């Protein structure tokens, strides 16, 4: 996914380190839940074909890699995208088989490991097809939150692939009753991780994995927020276990801290090292009238680029109505992404209550915000997309 975007635009390697982000505290979904056809789901499903070139390439010079990041950021902005996409087909019934059934999951199209060139646009939403229709384009990334120990979100991954999107699986272990970072670093959860890796390989879709996003946020529980060294050790353990599974070559690794904004601390102590990361995602939101792209992201972007040439995207963001100029903030977000040569963004398209940090972030419920988003997309050039291949069997 993002790994391939960078690799295709610069064949040079990497050095250095990084950091960044701001995100909303709030309740997260617990993954995909039980299989719709019961009994824990099917066994491994042979993937058609093998992963292509997903193993990490190392050793890029900082100058060459920085040029790659620039090219990656500019790739989607050179040409005016003419017209929109036809409404994407919903992942419904296939040959009389219910969506989400074993047959539908194992016979649905897969997505290729390499996207087309362009701006990466992702979303967290309950209805990806509806979001695509609303913005008049296809999102190329779709977020799924996975509680530690939960089932592999097969339905979510397959349905996203049917709409040409790669799933970002954000693993969240920071709840009561889950192992601490230090326990994970010592092997607690290794068996579960190996199962997840096998599931990734079985379905054959590239995915992005983010481990404990916004780990530096003060809203997280103390064992995570107050133990950067423990987080680093846990991240490296999760990376090691999943990378050694059959699903390892399908994974892009996303380090996703909260950008330095308001009271969010410097995330550098939580940096696991460039050997363990492919892409950096900075989370940050437009909460209040004084928020701008620069005030939310600029400091963190600068710190990252002094340390590493790894590519950066806005890993989670939205502009809320309480800023008083939501449409202007959306235009500023896209302008900042272009000026900073970032890979793209992931929009948090959900309603939350308890302002100011929890607002209604949905584009579909604000005609002005949606119009601003569509206008920004129309000026951004072609969007990256994952071609469908398949079937899985």
> Residue 2 and residue 279: Cα distance in Å, rounded?
7
The mean pLDDT values, 10 residues at a time, for the chain of 393 residues are 50 33 30 30 34 34 40 28 29 45 68 89 96 96 96 94 95 87 96 97 94 87 80 97 97 96 86 96 95 96 93 96 94 97 96 83 93 96 87 63
pLDDT for the residue numbered 377: 97
CA distances 157 to 22, 103, 310, Å, are: 26, 15, 26
pLDDT at 270: 92
Task: Please say whether the beta carbons of 244 and 193 come within 8 A.
Answer: no
Q: What is the structure's pLDDT at 299?
A: 94
- In Å, how far are 36, 153, 154, 176, 205 from 40, measured between CA atoms? 9, 12, 11, 24, 20
CA dist., res. 367 & res. 144, Å (int): 26
Among the listed residues 202, 247, 246, 207, the one whose alpha carbon sits nearest the alpha carbon of residue 106: 202
* Strand pairing class (312-317; 279-283): parallel
Question: Cα separation of 262 and 298, whole Å?
Answer: 13
- The pair phi, psi for residue 296, each rounded to 5°, is -85, -45
Q: Which pLDDT score is estimated for 39? A: 27
- pTM of the predicted model as reported, rounded to 2 decimal places: 0.77
13: its two tokens:
């390697």
pLDDT at position 360 is 86
What pLDDT is attached to residue 24?
A: 28
Query: Residue 111: which H helix or E strand, with range?
Result: strand 110-111
pLDDT for 212: 94
DSSP 298: I
> What is the rounded distance in angstroms from the CA atom of residue 225 to the CA atom of residue 73?
31
pLDDT of residue 388: 86
The architecture in CATH of the region 2-387 reads Alpha-Beta Barrel (3.20)
Report the pLDDT value the prediction gives residue 64, as an integer from 0 to 100: 44
Residue 268 CA: distances (Å) to CA of 21, 215, 221: 11, 11, 18
């Amino acid at each position: 996914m993002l790994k391939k975007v960078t690799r295709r635009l610069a064949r040079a390697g990497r050095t250095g380190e990084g950091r960044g982000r701001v995100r909303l505290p709030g309740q997260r979904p617990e993954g995909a839940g039980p299989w719709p056809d019961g009994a824990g789901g099917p066994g491994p499903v042979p993937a058609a074909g093998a992963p292509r070139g997903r193993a990490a390439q190392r050793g890029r010079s900082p100058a060459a890699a920085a040029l790659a990041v620039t090219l990656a950021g500019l790739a989607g902005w050179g040409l005016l995208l003419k017209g929109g996409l036809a409404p994407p087909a919903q992942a419904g019934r296939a040959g009389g088989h219910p969506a989400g059934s074993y047959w539908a999951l194992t016979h649905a199209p897969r997505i290729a490991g390499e996207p087309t060139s362009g701006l990466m646009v992702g979303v967290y939403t309950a209805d990806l097809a509806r979001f695509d229709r609303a913005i008049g384009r296809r999102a190329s990334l779709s977020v799924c939150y996975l509680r530690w120990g939960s089932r592999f979100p097969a339905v979510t991954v397959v349905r996203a692939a049917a709409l040409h999107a790669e799933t970002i699986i954000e693993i969240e272990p920071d709840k009561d009753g889950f192992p601490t970072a230090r326990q994970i670093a010592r092997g607690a959860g290794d068996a579960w991780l190996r199962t997840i890796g096998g599931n990734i390989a079985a379905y054959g879709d590239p995915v992005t994995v983010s481990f404990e996003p916004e780990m530096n946020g003060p809203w997280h529980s103390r064992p995570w927020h107050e133990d950067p060294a423990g987080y680093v050790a846990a991240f490296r353990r999760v990376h090691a276990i999943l990378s050694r599974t059959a699903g390892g070559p399908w994974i892009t690794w996303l380090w996703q801290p909260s950008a330095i904004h308001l009271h969010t601390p410097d995330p550098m102590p939580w940096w696991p090292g460039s050997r363990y990361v492919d892409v950096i995602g900075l989370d940050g939101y437009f909460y209040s009238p004084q928020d701008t792209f620069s005030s939310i992201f600029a400091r963190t972007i600068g710190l990252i680029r002094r340390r590493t040439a790894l590519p950066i995207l806005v890993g989670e963001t939205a502009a809320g109505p309480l800023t008083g100029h939501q449409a202007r903030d959306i235009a500023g977000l896209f302008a900042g992404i272009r000026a900073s040569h970032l890979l793209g963004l992931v929009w948090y398209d959900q309603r939350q209550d308890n302002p100011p940090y929890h607002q209604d972030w949905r584009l579909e419920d604000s005609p002005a915000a949606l119009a601003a988003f569509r206008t920004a997309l129309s000026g951004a050039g072609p969007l990256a997309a994952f071609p469908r291949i398949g079937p899985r069997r």
